[in-house]
Chains A and B, each alone.
Chain A
Amino acid sequence: MSKALDPILKISNLQTHFFTKAGVLKAVDGVSFEIGAGEIVGLVGESGSGKSITGFSIIGLVDAPGKIVGGDISFKGQNLNQLSNEQMQHYRGNRIAMIFQDPMMTLNPVLRIETQMIEAIQAHDDSIAHEDARIRARDALGLVGISSADERLRAYPHQFSGGMRQRVSIAIAMLNRPDLIIADEPTTALDVTIQGQVISEMQKLCQETKTALLWITHDLAVVSGIADRICVMYAGRVVEQGSIESTILNPMHPYTRGLMGSVPSQNQRGKPLQQIDGMVPSMLNLPNGCAFQNRCRRVNDTCLTKQPDIMHLADGRQVRCINLPEEYKV
């Protein structure tokens, strides 16, 4: 993997915990992965598995009772979790941008789109003239497929449809040509035809500007069509990561296998879907050993007591499972 030589983002053993009244909730517990320039990494997994908190940790948006309690987040060689709030502010929106499932997390309802975009540009480059910033904002709207951009700039967010608003928030994320975009379920709330539009714009932008993209979603099918690599999370940990091809063709972790197997198109019509039985354990009360043990078909006694370490496979994949078939171990 040539990309791994010089990653834009390198996360090692990230731990973000929530200190709640009911106990310590290890939302992110030992997560490691990298993203290279122009690379798209898909982060998938069950609801509550820690995907969003991983994204929030990178961009420094974890609030009390949450806290990053361990690990490194290295962005172009700079360790982000050693930065002060002001220093982080400089990175946020400038070098690193985030797109949320709900575009109104980015947009201010009482300001014209134009005002918001120009502010975002000037916040990171105070020497730029107002008119130049306006032109850049207009071009950015054009880039995400919004026609009559001049007119649209004068509008307020509520005058746009949901899909259009999401495209505006993507345009804002791209404004300062960040090196990294974290997109948290950016198309989940959108209709199929609009989702297609947004995905195709994002793909183009990443290719053209070499922006690294972390795409957080629960939709395996979306990830399979756009990502270079995939990280699969379960109960706060990455249980499998690897290239999209090898992971989809031959998923190794029992959870990944179950997940892929339950996608309707992987099943014959009229036959029951393959299903993962049982349910996710409470994050406040994880079992000893592997968190997937209660749902796993390969479970054995060791799984009940020992946390599985990361196994490195020959094809570059990393899998957290004690019980991999012998031939895959290296």
Chain B
Amino acid sequence: MKPILKVENLSKDFVKPLDLVAKALNKLGQNYREEIVHAVDDVSFSIFKGEIVGVVGESGCGKSTLGRMIAGILPPTSGHLKFELDESKTSKIPPALLTQMIFQDPFSSLNPRKRVIDIITEAPIYHKLIDQAEKQTYAEDMLQRVGLDPDTLQRYPHQFSGGQRQRVGIARALAVSPDFLVCDESIAALDVSIQAQIINLFVDLKDKFDLTYLFISHDIGVVEHIADRVIVMYLGRIVETAPIQDFLKNPNHPYTNALLAGVPRLEIGKRKYEPIKGEIPSPLDPPPGCHFHPRCRFAEERCRVEKPILIEIAPAHFSACHLNDRA
């Protein structure tokens, strides 16, 4: 199989500018510096055609930043993204369009003053994929694909429920016939009973239109259900990635294990949570060595000073933990 996307040593830094107080104090001889967040810190991986790759990890670990770089809406600080796109398509469609992003909040990502028909057809018309005469039928077709009534074409976003708005967002993304969808918490804002509908829709569309997904979610249960492969991030770095079966059966990294152990499961009987201790450290000042060491019960001296690198511990299963050197 050929990768559709190769990510090589990708990094993104954000500079947190000084606030007014710090600037003023600096004038008085203090030495406040701008702080740098390594939101994504040297990550590399590949995604194969037709895969659903889940990205999990706690708040602030860099999932959205990674997704936005892949979707082409945020330039990397360093590193490369190499897409291997379908040439029959790239001749007609600008490559940038072939990766589309679907956001968490369907409301803020849709223009409230535009009708659905215009929201959906704006990009395809601008890029001359369709002409004005085809607009109506094209939009109707897109709405049907995502399970919405074509009669709703003339409505504005606020006239839909949350789940329907998310469908409109998906229809808009599909309208440029992308190869690759980046879904960033795309079901998090939806009602429980609507989440299942949208998850099923994603899987359904994947089969119908040959899509590949990067599926970002803090809901590990959902990722377990639909992903073919999982990437676990912690403070900007990938700590583990594995095919889903192996991920569930043999999670390797202590952080992955902590994460999986903390997932609430629908089951009978009082659950005893034995959470790992401590807070998630500030990304402005991550711990040296292995970022996870202050919370890790296996941490040893080496973990405090040396950054562990990803090594392949089983076919296609990579983990970044010094414990793996022991075997």
Contacts and interface: CB of A to CB of B under 8 A. Distances in A.
Contacts of B274: 196, 200
A283 interface: no
B4 interface: no
A192 B268 contact: no
A284 interface: no
B193 interface: yes
A226 B271 contact: yes
B263 interface: yes
B249 interface: no
A218 B192 contact: yes
B262 A195 contact: yes
A262 B279 contact: no
B113 interface: no
Contacts of A267: 225
Contacts of B17: none
Contact of A272 (B203, B218, B266): B203
A249 to B, nearest CB: 6
Contacts of A205: none
Given A161-B280, A200-B273, A200-B275, A265 B265 contact: yes
A120 interface: no
A4 B158 CA distance: 45
A316 B277 CA distance: 39
Given A191-B280, A277-B197, A279-B194, A269 B225 contact: yes
A274 B196 contact: yes
B249 to A, nearest CB: 12
Interface in A237-263: 244-245, 248-249, 255, 258-260, 262-263
A279 B280 contact: no
Interface in A157-199: 161-164, 191-197, 199
A163 B60 CA distance: 13
A220 B199 CA distance: 18
Nearest to B193: A276
Contact of A279 (B161, B199, B271): B161
Interface string B234-245: 000000000010
A264 B204 CA distance: 16
B200 A279 contact: no
B93 interface: no
A226 B197 CA distance: 27
Contacts, number: 135
B129 interface: no
A191 B218 contact: yes
B196 A279 contact: no
Central interface residue in B196, B276, B280, by most chain A CB within 10 Å = B196
A69 interface: no
Interface in B171-197: 191-197
A112 B136 CA distance: 60
B267 interface: yes
B270 interface: yes
B222 interface: yes
A192 B279 contact: no
Contacts of B204: 272
B72 interface: no
B192 A196 contact: no
Contacts of B280: 161, 191, 193-194
A222 interface: yes
B298 to A, nearest CB: 16
Nearest to A224: B266
Given A47-B191, A161-B280, A262 B163 contact: no
B275 A264 contact: no
B104 interface: no
A224 B218 contact: no
Central interface residue in B224, B225, B226, by most chain A CB within 10 Å = B225
Nearest to A160: B279
A244 B269 CA distance: 8
Central interface residue in B193, B199, B221, B244, by most chain A CB within 10 Å = B193
B221 A194 contact: no
A221 interface: yes
Contacts of B192: 46, 218-220, 259, 262
Contacts of B200: 272-273, 275
B69 interface: no
B221 A196 contact: no
Contact of B275 (A193, A220, A248): A193
B225 A280 contact: no
Contact of A275 (B161, B197, B271, B272): B197
B81 interface: no
Nearest to B194: A279
B191 A46 contact: yes
A259 B262 CA distance: 22
A35 B276 CA distance: 31
A294 B218 CA distance: 31
A2 interface: no
Nearest to A44: B192
Contacts of B221: 221, 263-265
B224 A192 contact: no
B7 interface: no
A193 B259 contact: yes
A266 interface: yes
Nearest to B280: A191
15 contacts: A46-B192, A47-B191, A194-B280, A197-B275, A197-B277, A200-B275, A218-B191, A219-B264, A220-B192, A224-B267, A224-B271, A225-B265, A226-B270, A265-B265, A274-B196
Given A161-B279, A249-B268, A264-B199, 17 more contacts: A161-B280, A192-B259, A196-B273, A200-B275, A221-B264, A222-B264, A224-B271, A259-B192, A262-B192, A262-B196, A263-B221, A264-B224, A272-B204, A275-B197, A276-B193, A276-B196, A279-B163
Q: Rank and list the top 3 A-B pairs by shortest CB-CB distance, nearest first.
A: A225-B271, A196-B275, A264-B225
